[in-house]
Amino acid sequence: MDYRKLGRSDVEVSRVIFGAWAIGGWMWGGSDDDDAVAAINKAIDVGINTIDTAPVYGFGHSERLVGEAIKGRRDEVVIATKCGIRWDREDGHRPFETEDRDGTRRVVVRNLKADAILEEVEQSLERLGVDCIDLYQCHWPDPTTPIAETMEALNLLIEQGKVRAVGVSNFSVEMIKEALKHGPVASDQPLYNMLDRGIEDELLPYCDRADVGVICYSPLHQGLLTGAVTMEREFKEGDQRRRKPWFQPANRRRVIEFLDKLQPIAETHGKTLAQIAINWCLSQRGVTSAIVGARTPRQVIENAGGAGWRLSDEEIGQIRKWLEELNGPITAD
């Protein structure tokens, strides 16, 4: 496994990061807790030193599972979690209703106010069973709270030793620039994969120039780029992929045809399609790491194989040509 420093911080992360959203059970259907703990430990065993979670992933469940898995191994891992999405406070931006993993109705809001962050970090520390979070990230922008106020709270947490480095997620270039006026920002966490390349025009080049790390999420487009999602695959109610545009039959067929073109490149390297998709992200200038979810040790092993090697420039160029051909309009159903 390869490792890189995250921006200008002293936090060193593995190029493949364990994504702990799916194990929380929210928006992904069910997940076996024993398998999840085993998967996290397998990740550490194979050199994936960074685990990315969030309070809202299962409404605390993901953080608790991570805390259980790392008992006795804290010195081997970098813990990245988030703040700013609450289900236990009514004050916040863009409220929406959703269901917990057990069917409990929840109202979720965005809240990056200083008092909310200082309250939330204590909850995460307790669930994780740690006294310091390595990377604490704003989960989504909260336009009702000045970024200066948010950064003041995050800077205080660094001073108190509760957080090592601060990051953001889903922030625009202008938002990152504003945050940097008020304190260090080690990283941004944007959506990025072969099918979602919107950050290439502005955000990736800016972060590269500003020495802000980029840890992209969903490099496999929620499993679609693994080749395992066939035309026959159906998604249960509660699985967000059920309504995602690229998962609709007409669009899914186009992706499968694209993956058929990728297969010879995968065979040349002795890699799977998933590993090709991960490595493609890691090969892009400005990308520090890729967050890849896993529910089982087997999936972890495959994800780890996405790092430690590199597609050739010719292969990257060919893949881009195929992606441009794929880039037509996507249908809603």
d(CA 72, CA 314): 45
**How far apart are the C-alpha atoms of 31 and 278, rounded to whole Å?**
23
Pairing of strands 12-14, 3-5: antiparallel
**What is the spatial distance between Cα 207 and Cα 188, in angstroms, rounded to a whole number?**
8
- Tell me which residue has tokens 């409990």: 104
- Element containing residue 135 per DSSP (H, E): strand 133-138
Closest CA to 222 of 244, 251, 207: 244
Candidates 3, 57, 192, 217; catalytic one: 57
CA–CA gap between residue 219 and residue 194 (Å, rounded): 7
Query: Would you call 136 a catalytic residue per the annotation?
Result: no
- Distances in Å between the Cα of 165 and the Cα atoms of 111, 210, 212, 242 are 20, 16, 12, 36
Catalytic residues: 57
